[in-house]
Amino acid sequence: MKLLEYEAKRVFSGYGIPVPKGVLIREPEEVTARLPELGDGVVLKAQVDVGGRGKAGGVLMADDASAIETARELFSREIKGVPVREILVEERLPIDHEYYVSIAVDRSSRQPVVLFADAGGVEIENKALEDESAVRKVVVSPLLRDIPPFLMREILGGAPKELAPVINSLYHVFQEKDAMLAEINPLVTTLQGVYAADAKLVVDDNALARQGIAVNRDLSEREREAEKHGFSYVELDGTIGVIGNGAGLTMSTLDLIEFYNGRAANFLDVGGGADQERVMHAVKLVASMPGVNVIVVNLLGGITRCDEVAKGIIAAGVAPTVIVRMAGTNEEEGRRLLAECGYRMLESMDTAVKAAMEVSL
């Protein structure tokens, strides 16, 4: 789950990483009372979870006189379709130089990787794609608590040594907050010292509970409902509902629908060992989506019992046609139950998807 900038900065600050003085406001009028803390010249930053926020008009400069007007203006905007409900008002820093630093999970080496660039800022991604040498990548053993000095020297190259403690603190944040990504872009140097001018922190969804985060904000309400039943669920815009077990097989079913020029309405992975109850909830959830006139159920597995699945489908008793392809324990019993109630059970993914195409047309 992604934290907003001000939340990430609170975390960073707690680890001794200097951040600009700032206040969070929810009404334009609040800005006036807080200006004396920040000095003349402020930056107003919309707290929205979108990439390229600055370019999309989510960051505005103001002085004391224009602050309230600027705040009104920013609150009235939508940044890439997201309404602005909170603004972080910060002191404007006399920036000497901008660097880029982030720590992420490197799939290839299965270790944390520190990325550092001497030129930070909004164009970092494009710069990195154009010129690989623009970003230094250094992997660190996950068994080490600190970045050892020899690796820190490699990370910094010719950059000032005063950045080292900030980068090491960011590494502590990365480890202790179960981060998938901890990023400072830009990391700025000023005459007064080093600051994290922006902050990004993404927490591993599998570690939310132990990080004390009760609700995953990245999910929609329907997705959260699905999560409660143990499903992974994504809504799409087609007409053919899809229920599968396992992400790969479910994705593959969607691909097959596209291959036959159909459009899937959703992705729903019921997870391993689905019983009657779970299958019933899954079928009901997908059937409740507007525009769905046929549902393909594609289940395969050692633990999944076909008779349970059949009972779940029958118990759901939904209006859209349900076409079933399943293989596993008690296959014959499942087939018999479904046939008794007039459902179709097909032998392969291909035939099931083709049958669904015919119904959807």
Q: Which residues are designated catalytic? A: 100, 183
Q: How far is the CB of 246 from another protein (least distance, A)?
A: 3
- Terminal Cα distance for the chain, rounded: 39
Q: How far is the CB of 197 from another protein (least distance, A)?
A: 15
Residue closer to another protein (CB basis): 161 or 210: 210
CB atoms inside a 10 Å sphere around CB 113:
16
Q: How far is the CB of 56 from another protein (least distance, A)?
A: 15
Q: How far is the CB of 128 from another protein (least distance, A)?
A: 5
Of residues 243 through 262, those in contact with another protein by CB under 8 A are: 244-249, 251-252, 254-259
Of residues 182 through 201, those in contact with another protein by CB under 8 A are: 183, 185, 200
Instruction: Classify strands 97-106 and 232-235 as parallel, antiparallel or unpaired.
Output: unpaired
Based on the shown chain and the rule CB under 8 A, indicate whether residue 164 belongs to the binding site for another protein.
no
Q: How far apart are CA 177 and CA 17, in angstroms?
A: 15
Max distance between CA atoms of the chain, in angstroms, equals 80
Instruction: Classify strands 97-106 and 179-190 as parallel, antiparallel or unpaired.
Output: antiparallel
Q: Which residue has the tokens 């109630």?
A: 341
Q: Could you tell me which residues come within 8 angstroms of residue 82 by beta carbon, excluding any fewer than 6 positions away?
A: 48, 49, 50
Nearest alpha carbon to residue 166 among 143, 139, 189: 189
Residue closer to another protein (CB basis): 107 or 161: 107
Q: How far is the CB of 229 from another protein (least distance, A)?
A: 15
24, 243, 264, 352: residue in contact with another protein (rule CB under 8 A):
264
Q: Residues 105-134 vs another protein: string with x where CB under 8 A?
A: xxxx-xxxx-x--------xx--xx-----
Residue closer to another protein (CB basis): 281 or 325: 325
Based on the shown chain and the rule CB under 8 A, indicate whether residue 277 belongs to the binding site for another protein.
no
Q: How far apart are CA 49 and CA 82, in angstroms?
A: 8
Coil vs helix vs strand at 65? coil
Residue closer to another protein (CB basis): 124 or 156: 124
State the angle between helix axes of 221-228 and 276-287 in degrees (0 to 180), rounded to the nearest 10.
170
Residue closer to another protein (CB basis): 146 or 350: 350
Q: Which two tokens stand for residue 245?
A: 């077990």
Residue closer to another protein (CB basis): 91 or 178: 178
Q: Residues 284-323 vs another protein: string with x where CB under 8 A?
A: ---------------xxxxx--------------------
Helix residue spans in the chain (DSSP H): 5-14, 30-38, 67-76, 124-130, 149-156, 164-176, 221-228, 247-259, 276-287, 306-316, 331-340, 349-360
Based on the shown chain and the rule CB under 8 A, indicate whether residue 175 belongs to the binding site for another protein.
yes
Of residues 28 through 47, those in contact with another protein by CB under 8 A are: none
Q: Are 183 and 101 in contact (CB under 8 A)?
A: yes
Q: How far is the CB of 65 from another protein (least distance, A)?
A: 35
Q: How far is the CB of 81 from another protein (least distance, A)?
A: 16
Handedness of CA 70, 18, 105, 161 (dihedral sign): positive
Q: How far apart are CA 291 and CA 240, in angstroms?
A: 8
Which strands, in side-by-side order, build the sheet including 232-235? 232-235, 266-269, 240-244, 294-305, 321-329, 344-346
Q: Residues 61-100 vs another protein: string with x where CB under 8 A?
A: ---------------------------------------x
Which residues in this chain contact another protein in the complex, by CB under 8 A?
A: 51, 100, 102-108, 110-113, 115, 124-125, 128-129, 135, 137, 141-143, 175, 178, 180-181, 183, 185, 200, 202, 204, 206-207, 210, 218, 234, 236, 244-249, 251-252, 254-259, 264, 267, 272, 299-303, 327-328, 348-350
